[in-house]
Amino acid sequence: MAKGFNGELLHSGFVRTRAVGSGSLRMTLSSLDDVTSKTLPVIALSPTPGREPMVLAGFIAQKMALKIEVNALDEWFSISKITVFVRQYATEFPQ
């Protein structure tokens, strides 16, 4: 939980990863209790990517979880850094 979190709504604009691997990296953002979720654009993995791809998220929730996976048996990944760009969207949850 972020320091000073008081239940406000947050907007996740982008997700940037430093990942190496083989296959396609799939990421999903979800809210508390999986009430809402959003599948982010797929990132093509490489053993030597030479960059940190950033994908548009555009997800609003009180708290968020990020699920990262590959689907095929021979796909793999190793992540050394994840940056989620978040800002306050509203000071409280609408009634």
As a 3-state breakdown, the chain gives helix, strand, coil percent values, each rounded to 5, of 5, 60, 40
- Residues 10-55: pLDDT tens digits? 999 999 999 999 999 999 999 999 999 999 999 999 999 999 999 9
Tell me the average pLDDT of the chain.
91
Tokens of 74: 């021979």
Sign of CA dihedral 40, 43, 49, 51: negative
Tokens of 9: 């709504």
Q: What percent of the chain has pLDDT over 70?
A: 92
Residue 5 has pLDDT above 70, yes or no: no
- The pLDDT score that the predictor gives to residue 1 is 45
Confidence band (pLDDT; 50, 70, 90) for 6? confident
